[in-house]
A and B are shown apart, each in its own frame.
Chain A
Amino acid sequence: MRILLLFISLLFSVPSKSGEQQLEFQTSGLVGLGHAFYSYTFINKHTLSIGAGYVPELADHDDMTLLSLKYRYTPTKSYPFISMGQEIMWKPYSFSVTVLRGEDNDIYKTLPDDIPKDYYLPSARRVIFSMQTNFVLQDGVEFYWDWSVLDIGLINYVRNFEFYRDNYRFLGLEGILSYGIGFRVDL
């Protein structure tokens, strides 16, 4: 909650300029069937986002609301190309870290009283590390592909590199990566 308040105060303490604020929508990539972000970019490359997502009840998922706080770093490198008569700016990579919280009674936001303090990490909170490749259209709309890895995936990949390399394709990344797609619109 303190982080959220800090983020909100940071958002409103910086004077707004055109193009610095974005609305973003992503599907999958571990953040929900749909997840909307409000983003603010500062010092060109650094973007903070706050978001809310949702997963309806599915065969393999409980109905769940998701809340997120995301930091994205986008290097300035970009390459223009023309596709179907439309000039597109390709930003080959941006990197982000998202703190995701699931809202459901079956996962722990805090540990119940009968479990000793710090015995488990809260299972309702996960950290997601992502990379995006972005395609910016002229009218301030940006599409992106997202590759995300869960905190436990990154830890396991580092600790068990040979296992992933030998059992999954693409140096084992197939075993830990999840894919998502999304778009951003400048406000």
Chain B
Amino acid sequence: MMRAICQIYLLVMYSLLISSCRFDTSPWEYSVDCDTLNLDVNLNWLAKIENTNKEQPHFSIAVIGDPGLFPGDLELTIKKINQINKVDFILLLGDLTELGVKQEYEWTCKAISHSNKPILSVIGNHDALSYGREIWLNTIGPYDYSFTYKNTKFIAYNDNKYEFADVPDKEWLQKEAALETDEIRHHTIGMSHIEPWWDIDFTFTDELKAFGFDLMLHAHSHKFSYWYKPSVKLPHLINADTIDIKYSIVNFTPANISVEQCEPECIPATAVNWSDIP
């Protein structure tokens, strides 16, 4: 009996050994084999979607953030959003990892691979830990980038002040938000992991409004809120984390933007005066 158990054990061990060739040199490696998070891949995919339904001016997007330690909940959130036909693409607003190590990026990548929609990501503060910056640049793409979908411009920027010096790049933001000659644009949307750092830069929302932004999307605080500074009236949507399937839907028409808060079923959300937030 013991001999049989030993033989089975040996067989299992060798099967494991032979079938997987994962020899990780250290926890701090930084090459991640992952196409599903790559910006170019996702932007090409999005361009194809735009070409197939160009005549329809309205569209919706899903916004998620902070999947960090919960790739399982991220997968479930992705699968839930897959079923929402009106959503054309997904914004993932940072903290894809907790420690910025290679294995975590691979798990997020695996969860994201279940998506039937393009996913555009923004770097979070945790993503830049360890060698996360190198992994991000090699695997996903630049920290700051922009794209236009159906005459709405989306501008992603890095505002992780603990890990990066001189962020956000306000000059770049202003330039990106400015209308080009003959450009027809319905809305300008900003997205970053962290909402404005009030203790350091109290007037940043004023500047963003002056640059021409219509809506700002963030994550980081792990709970949903939707507010505006009364003197500025630029709405900031802060997304909850994905634990137990949480996300937001933002609906765009040429004239309007509306927001839904989903946990996981969706209800309409209205921005409130920031002084009313507990």
Contact = CB atoms under 8 A, between A and B. Distances in A.
Interface in A160-187: 160-164, 167-170, 173-180
Interface string B15-33: 0110111111111111100
B99 interface: yes
Interface residues of B, number: 40
A118 interface: no
A29 B26 CA distance: 7
B195 interface: no
Contacts of B75: 163, 167
B252 to A, nearest CB: 32
Contact of A145 (B13, B28, B99): B13
B25 A58 contact: yes
Contact of B130 (A31, A66, A92, A107): A107
Contact of A152 (B9, B25, B99, B162): B99
Contacts of A145: 13, 17
Interface of B: prevailing SS: loop
A64 interface: yes
Among A115, A161, A167, A169, find the residue whose CB has the most chain B CB atoms closer than 10 A: A167
B26 A174 contact: no
Interface residues of A, number: 58
Contacts of B111: 163, 167
B98 A152 contact: yes
Interface stretch (B38-46, B101-109, B230-238): B101-109
Interface of B: 6, 9-10, 13, 16-17, 19-31, 69-73, 75, 98-101, 103-104, 106-107, 110-111, 126, 129-131, 162
Given A29-B24, A145-B13, A152-B69, 9 more contacts: A30-B24, A106-B130, A108-B129, A156-B69, A163-B71, A163-B107, A167-B111, A179-B20, A180-B23
30 contacts: A30-B25, A30-B26, A32-B25, A32-B26, A55-B26, A60-B25, A60-B29, A61-B25, A62-B131, A92-B6, A92-B10, A100-B26, A102-B27, A106-B130, A106-B131, A108-B129, A114-B162, A120-B126, A120-B129, A121-B99, A123-B129, A156-B71, A161-B72, A163-B71, A163-B107, A169-B20, A175-B106, A177-B16, A177-B22, A179-B17
